[in-house]
A and B are shown apart, each in its own frame.
Chain A
Amino acid sequence: DTAVSQTPKYLVTQMGNDKSIKCEQNLGHDTMYWYKQDSKKFLKIMFSYNNKELIINETVPNRFSPKSPDKAHLNLHINSLELGDSAVYFCASSPGDRGGGEQYFGPGTRLTVT
């Protein structure tokens, strides 16, 4: 079974559209994250959720909103997409300190905005 899954793996859309990326983990972890990897491969944290509470909200545009219906899911919704949003988005989960801090990553979603 896949530990952290994301859908879709590829997403091509036009500027101005609204899109969502779904993430699910079956590891029973308490914390989930979203990362953005830009065209230069740089990875940066966007959000994290711990027990359905937002605990990090980096300086990302408010067009991005994480939504967590339950502990196993953390979806990323993006409004009014812009060219600069093109990137690979990774979901991850972690058991936190009790698990040694390790984060488990999903396969990534490559978003292309045209």
Chain B
Amino acid sequence: AQTVTQSQPEMSVQEAETVTLSCTYDTSENNYYLFWYKQPPSRQMILVIRQEAYKQQNATENRFSVNFQKAAKSFSLKISDSQLGDTAMYFCAFMKGHSGGGADGLTFGKGTHLIIQP
């Protein structure tokens, strides 16, 4: 079974600062995906960024980037130039990959509540 650990229950930074959210995971799988999801107060789950385990290059989406360290099983999220709208719960998630279709569900960490202060 997979486990995902987010060790920071809550973080608070000033607007425009850079913040890094930590995530570690444990798995014996070699083919998998890692995700960061954002959940604002509206409770909608929004995909922030995705990383395929077989790709060495770290994923980047505008102000969001990851530091994927496969050997260390670490997958941190960096938010640059943070904005008030980034205030939300952030969940790190793991999913096994399967060839031939049909995917397992996501295994989530417990989340980090990120607060961006004006």
Contacts and interface: CB of A to CB of B under 8 A. Distances in A.
Interface stretch (B11-19, B69-77, B78-86, B100-108): B100-108
A107 B85 CA distance: 18
Contacts of A90: 45
Contacts of A50: 101-103
Interface string B90-118: 01000101111111111110110000000
| Chain A interface main SS type | strand
B35 A56 contact: no
B108 to A, nearest CB: 4
A43 B108 contact: yes
Interface string B4-38: 00000000000000000000000000000101000
B98 A97 contact: yes
Interface string B41-63: 00111010010100000000000
B66 interface: no
B115 to A, nearest CB: 15
Given A30-B101, A35-B105, A101 B33 contact: yes
Contact of B99 (A56, A97, A103, A107): A97
Nearest to A94: B103
B105 A48 contact: yes
Given A88-B43, A105-B44, A45 B101 contact: no
A97 B103 contact: yes
Given A101-B33, A101-B95, A101-B97, A55 B102 contact: yes
A45 B102 contact: no
A103 B43 CA distance: 16
B108 A103 contact: no
B105 A45 contact: yes
The 4 closest A-B pairs by CB, nearest first: A45-B105, A101-B33, A105-B45, A43-B108
